[in-house]
Amino acid sequence: MTRPAEFVVFGEALTDFIRQPDGQWRAIPGGACWNVARAASRLGVATGYAGSVSSDVFGQELHALTREAGLDMRFTQQVARAPLLAMVTSTTPPDYFFIGDDSADLHFDPERLPAGWMDEARVLHFGCISLAREPLASRLLQVAQVAAMRGKKIAFDPNWRKLMDNPSYRILLRELLALSHYVKVSDEDLERLFPGDVNAFATLRALAPRAEILLTLGAQGMTLFKDEQVIEQAAYKVDVIDTVGCGDASMGGWIASRLRQPDAPAQTHLQCAAAGAAIAASKAGAYAATWDEVQALIARG
């Protein structure tokens, strides 16, 4: 029997096409929200990925990997629409654009989610470009608003991308931050979310007054701001292969730890977030660590 999903992740799954040094293109399944869902599921939390993928070869691969990660497949929809693609023309420096004017992700229908799913859910996660693409963005904001009214916890990772540089996203950003209980943001995200704001972090805290905020600093570790507490966590030392999906792994690790061990201190949750990110960095692509792998790295210190 399927365990009720206590963590439900809303947003995009897509296929990254990454231009290689020889001019060839490599297709890799991805998407920030999909990565967060996979990370939490692999860490042993009953998780649903609530998004829509295409029914072609790209969507079929995403669908198969969703199942392989142990996610609750009742939350994932497939539609006969074009796939959402991210064309990454350069990784250093990052340069990319998206293809998908009427793609599958935009046809996600919250009315098709399992009956009674919100009764069982404890935390709902939102983020990245799904909140900058209509009509999906408005649908997801409405889900978050209803969930917040019903006492559910809202997790949010803005995860800045080029599509967010518009007035309508900035309005939605503020609305979702006001609902949020857990916000993860990187130092790079802050600069882009609040351009020209010399007190960007203070602005973020003011917009999310009831949220714990996890500020990630790459190799410099991360810091949690919870009420008046400031809790720091160093990065775990690993041989870095790439940093794809590290932020998503830290978000998934943070929330998974909170759900698995709710009475543990905040430092314990930070250790899980940092360990998940470090393990992802030590593997190629957006690797999702298991609970045992995370605990082993924490034990090694």
Instruction: Give this prediction's pTM.
Output: 0.94
Q: Does position 1 have pLDDT exceeding 70, yes or no?
A: no
pLDDT at 209: 95
pLDDT at 285: 75
| 204-251-32 Cα angle (round to 5) | 95
Give percent of the chain above pLDDT 70: 100
Task: Say which DSSP state 136 is in.
Answer: H
Domains of the chain: 7-214 (3.40.1190.20)
pLDDT at 34: 97
pLDDT at 286: 78
Instruction: From 214, 187, 213, 212, select the one nearest 200 (Cα to Cα).
Output: 187
CA-CA distance, 123 to 102, in Å (whole number)? 29
Which residue bears the tokens 């399927």?
2
Cβ atoms < 10 Å from Cβ of 139: 17
Cβ atoms < 10 Å from Cβ of 181: 17
CA-CA distance, 212 to 194, in Å (whole number)? 19
Q: DSSP labels for 259-292?
A: HH-TTS-HHHHHHHHHHHHHHHHTSSSS----HH
By the 10 Å C-beta count (0-12 exposed, 13-18 middle, 19+ buried), 292 is classed as exposed
Q: Give the range among 66-80, 112-126, 233-247, 260-274 with minimum mean pLDDT.
A: 233-247
Sign of torsion over alpha carbons 196, 225, 178, 210: negative
pLDDT at 15: 94
Q: DSSP labels for 20-31?
A: -TTS-EEEEEE-
Cβ atoms < 10 Å from Cβ of 55: 14
Ramachandran quadrant class, 116 (left: phi over 0; alpha: psi -120 to 50; beta: rest): left
Task: Say which DSSP state 83 is in.
Answer: P
pLDDT at 260: 96
Q: What is the mean pLDDT of residues 133-156?
A: 97
Q: What is the pLDDT of residues 207-232, one digit of tens each?
A: 999 999 999 998 899 999 998 899 99
**Please, where are the H alpha helices in 108-245?**
117-120, 136-149, 167-179, 187-193, 200-207
Q: What is the pLDDT of residues 74-110, one digit of tens each?
A: 999 999 999 999 998 887 777 889 999 999 999 999 9
pLDDT at 215: 97
Task: Say which DSSP state 242 is in.
Answer: -
Q: Name the residue with higher pLDDT: 162 or 14.
A: 14
pLDDT at 171: 95
pLDDT at 197: 93
* Residues facing 96 on adjacent strands: 88
